[in-house]
Amino acid sequence: MEKATGKSIFKGIAIGRILFYQKGEQQVKRVKVEDTEAELKRYEQATEIAVGQLNELYQNAVKEVGETNAAVFEVHAIMVQDGDYVDSIRNIIETQQVNAEFAVATTGDNFSKMFSEMDDEYFKARAADVKDISERIVNILSGVENSGDIGDEPVIVVAEDLAPSETVQMDKEKLLAFVTRLGSSNSHTAILARTMNIPALIEVEIKEEWNGKLAIVDGYSGTFYIEPEEEILAQMKERQDEDIRNRKLLQQLKGKEDITLDGKKIKLYANIGGVKDVASVLANDAAGIGLFRSEFLYLEADDYPSEESQFLVYKKVAENMAGKKVIVRTLDIGADKQADYFQLGHEDNPAMGYRAIRICLDRVDIFKTQLRALFRASAFGNIAIMYPMIISVNEVKKIKEIVELVKKELDVQEVPYGNVEQGIMIETPAAVMISDLLAQEVDFFSIGTNDLTQYTLAIDRQNSKLDNIYDSHHPAVLRMIQKTIENGHKHGCWVGICGELGADPTLTQAFLNMGIDELSVSPTFVLPIRKNIREMKVNGAPEL
Amino acid sequence: MVKITFKVNDEMGLHARPAGMLVKEAAKCTSKVTIQKGEKTGDAKRIFNVMSLSIKANEEVILLVEGEKEEEEAAVLEAFVKENI
């Protein structure tokens, strides 16, 4: 068995024979021509054919991968006819008196170099597009077919690189996966792989001798197994079956309500850590976002993110969710999540340190910036806000004062905002014990079970020596949850769980019995939990 | 000459698809259309010109429309930009 690793583009398993795909790459020779007029004419005709091919590809791709993803071919058609590109080719033919193939290849190299030298990853990746269109014209000029012919058997395609046009032209029934040495996760080919649900690895050191061998693409770990051992093969087959089962689940449960057999509706939401995760929320059919961790805005930046940049992110998520609830948790930095510019300094016990709402109430300017961005974005969708690490009623009162201040400012400036539900995270034993008082101040509770377990059991989550006694099913934790739900309901709060426990299928029944209103889980757990909810009843005594 | 100022909302910036749409729209104009980001300028009817400006999310971009029909063509372009970019 041989193993290679790469970057995974699409999480999935593929098992099959390898086809080492070599494109009809042309060695373009420089040939002197006498009649440059005729050469220009040849080039013009080739361009016309190229545009025709690209339009046809576009039409086919729209059917297969949708208009947005197909747009790459429309853009290619525009590139083929671009003034600078055409001028450069014509100029080379005329001044150097050379063949059109050479002029196109040289121009293609120059233009793709321009992109690969740009500082932005996205624009860098466009070098591949320029190469693709130039190859297309060269192939037309020299009479080589542009093909994505991979034969009649299902195969894992292994190649140096794949152009988007090649990927689209390959027979989807026969294409199990693809593995390339080049390519980027921003490339159109990668985007197409994701849309077509094809496992794909890039940046793999490929070998021609693999041709024809049995192999496995493990898109979860980014591993490529060539001539795999029996054990691995069995393991991967099982994983593949699981994927298939999940996909079936998806087909059965997509669009279905999250409702128990005896008619209680549960809000089944998803947790996200950034704008990119929204696609997965929608794909897994969550009814909303129950936890939008806003930290990434701070962790990915070199300085405090501006109100405007935050506003655009929140607005985008709210708009993409189209009226579905989006619960944003305000800055939860500190402890294991650090950003240099905050200059938080070393702490001996960061889990109990200067973090989350404690920072926000101390450095109100940072907090206000985020709140302003959130309220402004609330005009564009259904945004709710929740505050982390609460331990006292006083903190909530202070937050509410600041919120009122922010609203007043926006009123004065005539900036619109929506009706924003306000909630708190219940993740400290203190908050549980006074949840009856806290419930009178807010609209909802969301229980963060990870921290709640850590603080209740006095076990540091980061200490691996304690893993064997870190028991999130501990009766103390479950009773904390029950008390929170009871107190919340007494005072008109709805109560949810956004920690990992919410996605634990062995606890769904217990939570339903306790009267839980909302569960927010990782997008991939939405449908399995939906299945659970739909097969359960609320009544029945919880075993605590 | 008419000046249109706008910001790119897309988080990926003025990437291939919107750049292509903009070029297609600009190409319909009889006016000369110049795209400007900071010090750099380019011909808005040429996709490689537009893309070489590497316009990112939230960056301010200016379109300069110059020609006999500049008023009406700029109005069309502005509406297009507002709607699509």
Q: What is the CATH number of the domain that holds A179?
A: 3.50.30.10
Single-letter amino acid code for the residue at A517: D
A385 pLDDT exceeds 60? yes
A501 pLDDT exceeds 80? yes
Q: How confident is the model at residue A146 (pLDDT cuts 50, 70, 90)?
A: low
Q: How confident is the model at residue A165 (pLDDT cuts 50, 70, 90)?
A: confident
pLDDT given for residue A67 in this prediction? 78
Q: Is residue A285 domain-shared with residue A382, that is, in the same domain?
A: yes
Full DSSP string of A148-188: ----SS-EEEEES---HHHHHHS-TTTEEEEEESS--TTSH
Residue pair A133/A76 in contact (Cβ under 8 Å)? The answer is: yes
Among candidate residues B6, B15, B56, B80, the one labeled active-site is B15
pLDDT given for residue A316 in this prediction? 93
Q: Is residue A212 domain-shared with residue A287, that is, in the same domain?
A: no
Task: Give the pairing type, strands A155-159 and A223-226.
Answer: unpaired
Contacts of A412 (CB under 8 A, 6+ apart): none
- Of chain B, the end-to-end C-alpha distance in Å amounts to 22
Single-letter amino acid code for the residue at A104: V
Average pLDDT of the segment spanning A473-486: 97
How close does chain B come to A371, measured CA to CA in Å?
Answer: 20
Among candidate residues A76, A188, A360, A493, the one labeled active-site is A188
Nearest-by-CA chain A residue for B20: A75
B77 pLDDT exceeds 70? yes
Phi, psi of A489 (to 5 degrees): -65, -35
Among A117, A141, A165, identify where a domain stops: A141
A431 pLDDT exceeds 80? yes
DSSP percent split of chain B into helix, strand, coil, nearest 5? 40, 25, 35
pLDDT given for residue A26 in this prediction? 64
Would you state the CATH architecture of domain B2-84?
2-Layer Sandwich (3.30)
How close does chain A come to B39, measured CA to CA in Å?
Answer: 17
Q: What tokens does A137 get?
A: 């014209």
Sheet holding B32-37: strands in order across?
A: B2-7, B60-66, B32-37, B40-43
A542 pLDDT exceeds 60? no
B11·A312 Cβ contact <8 A? yes
How close does chain A come to B10, measured CA to CA in Å?
Answer: 9
Single-letter amino acid code for the residue at A137: I
pLDDT single digits (tens) B39-62: 899 999 999 999 988 898 888 899
Give the E-state strand segments of A415-465 in sequence order: 421-426, 444-447
ipTM, two decimals, is 0.91
Q: Is residue A130 domain-shared with residue A166, that is, in the same domain?
A: no
**Three-class DSSP category at A444:** strand
Mean pLDDT for chain A overall: 90
CA atoms within 13 A on the CB side of A276: 5
Give the lowest-confidence range in A87-96, A143-152, A170-179.
A143-152
Query: Does residue A403 sit within a domain?
Result: yes
How close does chain B come to A257, measured CA to CA in Å?
Answer: 32
A78·B47 Cβ contact <8 A? yes
Nearest-by-CA chain A residue for B49: A84
According to DSSP, the residues that pair with A334 across neighbouring strands are A337
Give the lowest-confidence range in A145-149, A278-282, A336-340.
A145-149
Give the one of A83, A122, A312 whose C-beta lies nearest to B43's C-beta.
Answer: A83
- CA distance linking residue A521 with residue A480, whole number of Å: 19
A299 pLDDT exceeds 90? no
In chain A, the percentage of residues whose pLDDT exceeds 90 is 62
**Known catalytic residue: B15?**
yes
Q: How confident is the model at residue A541 (pLDDT cuts 50, 70, 90)?
A: very low
Give the one of A75, A120, A308 whose C-beta lies nearest to B20's C-beta.
Answer: A75
Give the lowest-confidence range in A153-162, A222-231, A266-275.
A153-162
Contact status of B62 with chain A (Cβ, < 8 Å): no
Q: Is residue A268 domain-shared with residue A231, that is, in the same domain?
A: no
Q: Would you give the DSSP letter of residue A249?
A: H
Contacts of A472 (CB under 8 A, 6+ apart): A449, A450, A453, A500, A501, A504
A335 pLDDT exceeds 70? no
A123·B9 Cβ contact <8 A? no
Q: Is residue A328 domain-shared with residue A379, that is, in the same domain?
A: yes
Query: Does residue A492 sit within a domain?
Result: no
Phi, psi of A319 (to 5 degrees): -65, -45
pLDDT given for residue A338 in this prediction? 77
DSSP H stretches of helix in B1-85: 16-27, 47-51, 70-84
Which of A73, A76, A78 is best to mutate for the B interface (most B CBs within 10 A)?
A: A78
pLDDT single digits (tens) A184-205: 766 767 777 777 778 999 999 9
Among A248, A282, A300, identify where a domain stops: A248
pLDDT given for residue A302 in this prediction? 86
Average pLDDT of the segment spanning A352-380: 95
Q: Name residues 21-40 of chain B within 8 A of A (Cβ).
A: 23-24
Query: What residues does each domain of chain B span?
Result: 2-84
**Known catalytic residue: A493?**
no
- CA distance linking residue B40 with residue A163, whole number of Å: 31
Query: Does residue A413 sit within a domain?
Result: yes
Give the lowest-confidence range in A171-175, A340-344, A377-381, A449-453.
A171-175
pLDDT given for residue B36 in this prediction? 94
Average pLDDT of the segment spanning A173-187: 82
Q: Would you give the DSSP letter of residue A287?
A: S
Among A184, A217, A248, identify where a domain stops: A248
Q: How many residues would you count in chain A?
A: 544
Give the one of A72, A83, A115 whose C-beta lies nearest to B46's C-beta.
Answer: A83
Residue carrying the six token digits 């709210």: A318
Q: Is residue A232 domain-shared with residue A281, that is, in the same domain?
A: no
Residue pair B52/A114 in contact (Cβ under 8 Å)? The answer is: yes
Q: Is residue A100 domain-shared with residue A243, that is, in the same domain?
A: no
A122·B12 Cβ contact <8 A? yes
Give the one of A75, A115, A316 whose C-beta lies nearest to B11's C-beta.
Answer: A316
pLDDT given for residue A455 in this prediction? 95
pLDDT given for residue A186 in this prediction? 64
pLDDT single digits (tens) A44-70: 999 999 999 899 888 888 877 777 778
pLDDT given for residue A47 in this prediction? 95
Task: Give the pairing type, strands A223-226 and A267-272.
Answer: unpaired
pLDDT given for residue A544 in this prediction? 47
B54·A119 Cβ contact <8 A? yes
Average pLDDT of the segment spanning A386-404: 98
- CA distance linking residue A17 with residue B51, whole number of Å: 40
Average pLDDT of the segment spanning A78-100: 94
Give the one of B45, B47, B51 whose C-beta lies nearest to A123's C-beta.
Answer: B51
A24 pLDDT exceeds 70? no
Q: Is the dihedral of CA A58, A63, A67, A70 positive or negative?
A: negative
Number of separate domains in chain A: 3
What is the residue range of A95's domain? 25-141
CB-based burial label for A535 (10 Å; 0-12, 13-18, 19+): exposed
Q: Which residues of A touch B9 (CB under 8 A)?
A: 312
More confident residue, A16 or B13: A16
In three-state form (DSSP H/G/I as H, E/B as E, the rest C), the secondary structure along A24-91 is CCCCCCCCECCCHHHHHHHHHHHHHHHHHHHHHHHHHHHHHHHHHHHHHHHHHHHHHCCHHHHHHHHH
A226 pLDDT exceeds 60? yes
pLDDT given for residue A147 in this prediction? 60
Q: How confident is the model at residue A142 (pLDDT cuts 50, 70, 90)?
A: confident
Residue carrying the six token digits 């269109």: A133
Contact status of A306 with chain B (Cβ, < 8 Å): no
Q: What tokens does A449 get?
A: 């079970």
Q: Is residue A37 domain-shared with residue A89, that is, in the same domain?
A: yes
A543 pLDDT exceeds 60? no
- CA distance linking residue A257 with residue A374, whole number of Å: 29
Q: Is residue A136 domain-shared with residue A163, that is, in the same domain?
A: no
Q: Is residue A128 domain-shared with residue A163, that is, in the same domain?
A: no
Q: Is residue A134 domain-shared with residue A162, that is, in the same domain?
A: no
Q: Is residue A312 domain-shared with residue A403, that is, in the same domain?
A: yes
How close does chain B come to A145, measured CA to CA in Å?
Answer: 26
A540 pLDDT exceeds 90? no
A126·B46 Cβ contact <8 A? no
